[in-house]
């Protein structure tokens, strides 16, 4: 019962006597659903959702964010998910991916513009608190990097290799530092 539920997600009720729905739940199309981000709790015959509190990133936190700005030495990241928990609307943290933190090998040959584009969604790991405003983030593992990108034609791109993504509409290849999908 410790997996995190998202709003609208169906709740799988445990077998046994009938349970009542409590805080953080509702019924839609005959199925109980979560109305909060949180974990399922069962107490005295009542099922409820205990809201999960987001926490600021810490070293080793896995984060998701959107690339907001690029420079030759770094990419700026707007962090919206920390350790799998979405931050409340309007709350976000800033991250910096420096060119030396993009990949583990050939760090001196990294060109930020060949790895990220504005609007890309990136999975990374916090390596330290940078300055007072942002966290240093790395993508130097196979499972880290761009997880979602939109092509110039407006289509969702598909990874071709760890260095390239393809537009399904035009077939055009664009360079990215792709995250290896977890199921491969």
Q: Report pLDDT for 49.
A: 87
Q: Which of 38, 47, 40, 39 is nearest to 16 (CA)?
A: 47
pLDDT band at 146 (very low <50, low <70, confident <90, very high): very high
Q: What is the pLDDT of residues 53-96, one digit of tens each?
A: 777 888 999 999 999 999 999 999 999 999 888 888 788 899 99
Beta carbons within 8 Å of 52's beta carbon, 6+ residues apart: 4, 37, 38, 39, 85
| 117 shares its domain with 152 | yes
> Measuring CA to CA, which residue among 59, 108, 91, 99 is closest to residue 75?
99
Structural domain boundaries, residue 11: 4-51
The CATH number for 104's domain is: 2.40.50.140
Question: Which of 46, 21, 26 lies closest to 36, judged by CA?
Answer: 26
Per-residue pLDDT at 129: 85
Determine phi and psi for 100, rounding to 5 degrees: -75, -10
Q: What is the pLDDT of residue 182?
A: 66
Residues 75 and 123 in one domain: yes
| Residues 168 and 78 reside in one and the same domain | yes
Q: Return the minimum-mean-pLDDT range out of 5-9, 116-120, 153-157.
A: 5-9
For the chain, what is the domain count? 2
pLDDT digits (tens, 9 = 90+) for 173-183: 999 999 987 66
Domain identity same for 23 and 87:
no
Say yes or no: 69 and 37 in one domain: no
Answer whether residue 8 is part of any domain.
yes
182 inside domain: no
**Residues 70, 159 within the same domain:** yes
Asked if residue 70 is part of any domain, the answer here is yes
Residue 122 lies in a domain: yes
User: Residue 114: pLDDT above 60?
Assistant: yes
The CATH number covering residue 46 comes to 2.40.50.100
Stated pTM of the model? 0.73
> Of 184 and 163, which is predicted with more confidence?
163
Asked if residue 45 and residue 71 are part of one domain, the reply reads no
User: Is 75 part of any domain?
Assistant: yes
Residues of the chain with pLDDT > 70, as a percent, come to 95
Beta bridge partners of residue 39, listed in sequence order: 4, 50
In a domain, 56, yes or no: no
pLDDT at 41 over 90: no
Distance, CA of 37 to CA of 24 (rounded, Å): 9
In a shared domain, residues 106 and 34: no
pLDDT value, residue 1: 44
């Amino acid at each position: 019962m410790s997996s995190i539920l998202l709003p609208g997600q169906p709740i799988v009720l445990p077998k046994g006597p009938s349970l009542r729905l409590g805080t953080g739940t509702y019924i839609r199309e005959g199925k109980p659903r979560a109305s909060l981000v949180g974990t399922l709790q069962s107490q005295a015959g009542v099922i409820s959702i205990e809201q999960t509190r987001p926490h600021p990133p810490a070293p080793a936190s896995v984060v998701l964010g959107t690339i907001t700005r690029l420079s030759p030495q770094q990419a700026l990241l707007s962090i919206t998910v920390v350790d799998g928990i979405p931050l409340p609307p309007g709350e976000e943290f800033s991250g910096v991916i420096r060119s030396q933190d993009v990949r583990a090998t050939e760090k001196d040959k990294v060109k930020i513009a060949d790895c990220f584009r504005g609007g890309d969604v990136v999975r990374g790991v916090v390596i330290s608190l940078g300055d007072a405003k942002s966290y240093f983030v790395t993508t130097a593992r196979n499972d880290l990097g761009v997880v979602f990108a939109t092509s110039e034609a407006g289509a969702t791109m598909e990874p071709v290799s760890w260095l390239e993504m393809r537009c399904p509409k035009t077939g055009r290849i664009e360079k990215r530092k792709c995250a290896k999908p977890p199921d491969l």
